[in-house]
Structure 1
Amino acid sequence: MVCVCGDDGRHEYFNRVWREYGAADFASSRWMEWVLPADQRQFDPAMREAMLAGGAFEADLRILHPVDGARWFLLRVCPLPDGLDGGRRWLLSLTDIHARKRRELALLRDSRLQREMLDISVDCIKLVRPDGTLARMNRAGCVALNVGEDSGFGMDWLHLLPREAHQAGRQALLKAKQGENARFLGISQLPGQDPRHWDNMLTPLKNADEDVEAILCVSRDVTVQRASERRIALLLHELAHRSKNMLAVVQALVRRTVPDPQAPFVAILGQRIAAIARNQELLINGQWSGITIEKLLASQTAVIGDVNQKRLLLHGVGGLRLLPETAERLGLAIFELTTNAIKYGALSNDTGTVAIDWAVLERNDGDRFRLVWQESGGPRVKAPVRQGFGTAVIERNPRAVIGAAVTYRYEPEGVSWAFEAPKSRVLDEKASAAAAPAAAVETGAAPLL
């Protein structure tokens, strides 16, 4: 839409599009009455000032339409060459920008909501450029790092952190610049306040060409969590200490209660109590989150001594973490198998060996964990006439794991024992997956599985 007006406010010309827009009086000097009052108050003084100065002017404004309601237009006012009468004239144009303006306003609204959303978060959220300078930071980050929200940022991000966190932060930033996620712990302390612990997670933001354009750093306050972890560690330490004392009291009561403290069964009972104590200590030291198979085997076969460790042949995947309940049952079974091998089996002579293998087997009905104990090279063995407590611990106790199957055989070449159960009932899969990949454990002859 185009029109021409003079300095006196009279409009000399309206093109057809202008004349056909809205009501009849829109193509007149009263056309500004159709501009929304809020927009009119905003642009009218500025337009008059520009016209007095003889300069151009433009503004976005909304004009009412009888049918469509208010629509956005771009108003441009440009001076025309002076006419023959010496009077100044102006060319006014209105360009429909309704669709574009709605997109702009929606974008601005989304941007505002995102800023408000980030500012509501208690996490410190920062946008860091690849060169390490700070591009933006939410309100919580500004408070934690004592930076003004209107500072404009641009400062070196690492220099806002305590000196102790610089090395870890620098390594994490380098890793993120290379396109990988990174994480490190840090501490901040404002004057007169207690230290606050932060878990910093860096995520690279890539463009379509996979180049890192920026790095998102989310820092979560884990001060309460760290304090809770310290309390839990203290309680677990106290629990381990009291458990050891209680088991020691039990051993002392047994020795003082039986008629003959030197009787063989007293020593056997003491060894079994010690095995329970070792199991408890391993679990408590792991904060009752289970233990790796390697640690369990090392603990419960320690009775054979360092010299005979070379006769223990281990084969399996490293780093698999057993659930606490399963670790207790398997640990006691391994201890009983070890003591039996020392007394009667492969470890009772100078040449026998024990192979312990474990693996996760893929099955159509679900993955299963299998642990095998195989003795060889020892004296010929045969099943005992009477089955005692040891047999129950070796065979029946592990069977209490849901879905487990246990085989325990006295074969001529040596004792054979196998435990198999659903992987989900044996392994802490999340802890095993989260742990750093461990090399396979190989300490002897070819594996059985």
Structure 2
Amino acid sequence: MSRAAWPIAALLVGYPLWWALGFGGLSVIILAGPMAVLLWRRRPILVPPGFWLWMLLLAGYLVSALMLAESPPGTYGELGPGRLIGWTMRLALYVSVLIMVLYLGNLTERELPQLRLVRMLGVLFATTVAGGLLGVLVPGFSFTSPVELLLPRWLSGNAFVQNLIHPTAAQTQKVLGYAMPRPEAPFEWANAWGSNVSVLLVWAVVGWWVHGSRRQRVLLAVLTALAAVPVVYSLNRGLWIGLGLAVVYLIVRVGGRTRLALCGAATAAALAFALSPLAPLVAQRLDRPHSNDIRAFTVTATLAATAHSPVIGYGNTRNATGNHRTVTTGRTAWCPGCGHPPLGSDGQLWLLLMTQGLTGAALYVAFFVGAIRRHWADRSPVGLGGVLVMGLVLLYMFVYDGLVTPLILYLISFALLWRNSRRGPA
């Protein structure tokens, strides 16, 4: 690996440091600067198939700023710093991940070997497992980051910004009727942890099992067993469904002895889990669909709001008047359950509908569906893994926000597929 590849190594391998400093997923915005410089020096710049779709998505997001001061029926709030901060940070992220994809695709195999990039994602998987265990064992762990100390109070106190810059081990929620920690370290939300651990597991398997030594395979087996604890404690049904569908996908797409081995491993893992103390917790979660009513309310309200600006959306999320239990808004002493998430915060699809209308949602879906269509025939480990991640993107968009760290991993996976198509299967 040459010096030209240091920004991606700093992002993936150095991620725990970024998190501790308070940058977390925002580190990609900082590192996009040197990535852009390196790209500029090696013109002409190669662009991936589907590049124009992301450019249209960016253009639509710029146009959506025209609606930032507007609020659809059934919502409240005026244009203020919070709304502008959210719009600006999302724009910076959309631009930064695009620069990152171009940067990765324009590095040669000699500068950044494909397997090296995959194994960097494996290192981040190990970091994610460690963060998940921290959230289970020490859920109250948190600290004020240097970035948080340096920012003015009016900015660091913004709820969206606070989640990004204040490192915490877990979110405590009453999902099962009592306070329960849901691991989120080293990411911004518990749902982000769930999305990221599944994507990173895919690449850890490719780098450390398929192309790994015996020692690396043993390490991965231990890490995967340990990951089962925070995976269950995360109470992320979307994650559980994603992992189940990933196993089914691999069984269908691989053949011969690999399919038999995978079936055997999946059966053994399922049996071991069923006999473990973790199984009752899963059963409790499935018996208590805590968030169904909330999601039904916010999704319905999001669709109703989208109908008033279906082409360009509203640029940012909006607060609904009331929630699934009451017509009042916000928590009070007599109504602690009256709080609710903003419209567009229950998944990337709903965020896109709210911020960019049907146009933005269609472009986002087309971008990742196009990647699946182009690379479906690539049956190499990277090809199979990349297409699987693209499928998980389309599944998770209904339940998980793509911002901030999930989108970074989605686009790195996209770049791996693009690199594979240009350099030959790996």
**Higher percent of residues as helix:** 2
Establish whether TM, by shorter chain, passes 0.5.
no
Indicate the structure whose relative CO is greater, using CA pairs within 8 Å and at least 6 residues apart. Answer: 2
Q: Which has the larger radius of gyration?
A: 1
